[in-house]
Amino acid sequence: MSDASAHSNLILTGMPAVGKSTVGVLLAKRLGYDFIDTDLLIQKRHGRLLHQLIRRHGMKRFLDIEAQTILSLGGSGQVVATGGSVVYRPRSMRHLQAMGTVVFMDIDLESLRRRLTDMDGRGVVRAPGQSIADLFAERLPLYRRYSRLTIATAGLNPGRVAEKIIRALEDSSGG
């Protein structure tokens, strides 16, 4: 798709369970890009599931591991689905912004509550006792600060979200 070629990479950010990985695969297929899921990359490199890494190393060390993974990324023609906690490290976000177009997949809190039912099992980075609402309030301004495009996802299936992202990219590049 020539319209998207102006975007060397697409970087998907947003809350856990918003659909970054699912939508990322669809976008990669549609655009002929490679797909990278940074959570899976972390798990592969460290030989443990995210929740195991968080439990073993704690939140701060996990964020360091995540940042190292993000800073190791390069190249073009990729859709990158990031972990929801990537926004806690400004250096990581600046690196992602330099790599391509950062797209914030936005969702409202009630839709998120329905989707995100097992924060510990998913390996969601959060302070002890931090609720979904607290996490949402903390991260939302960070996602907005670093993104170039914001796509509302509530009530949409992954294919529809992918279409909205492609349309927004075409509109932003004058296509």
pLDDT digits (tens, 9 = 90+) for 1-55: 334 444 589 999 999 999 999 999 999 999 999 999 999 999 999 999 998 999 9
Q: Residue 4's pLDDT is what?
A: 43
Domain 2-172 matching CATH 3.40.470.10: the answer reads no
First-last CA distance in the chain: 11
Instruction: Report DSSP state, residue 82.
Output: P
Q: Residue 169's pLDDT is what?
A: 92
pTM of the entire predicted model: 0.92
Q: How far apart are CA 143 and CA 40, in angstroms?
A: 21
How many CB atoms sit inside 10 A of residue 115's CB?
Answer: 15
Q: What is the pLDDT averaged over residues 93-99?
A: 96
Q: How many Cα atoms within 13 Å fall on the side-chain side of residue 44? A: 7
* Element at 34 (helix H, strand E): strand 34-37
Q: Is 40 exposed, middle or buried (0-12, 13-18, 19+ CB in 10 A)?
A: middle
The mean-pLDDT minimum among 26-40, 84-98, 109-123, 136-150 falls in: 109-123
Q: What is the pLDDT averaged over residues 117-145?
A: 89
**Residue 121 corresponds to which tokens in the numbers above?**
């099992």
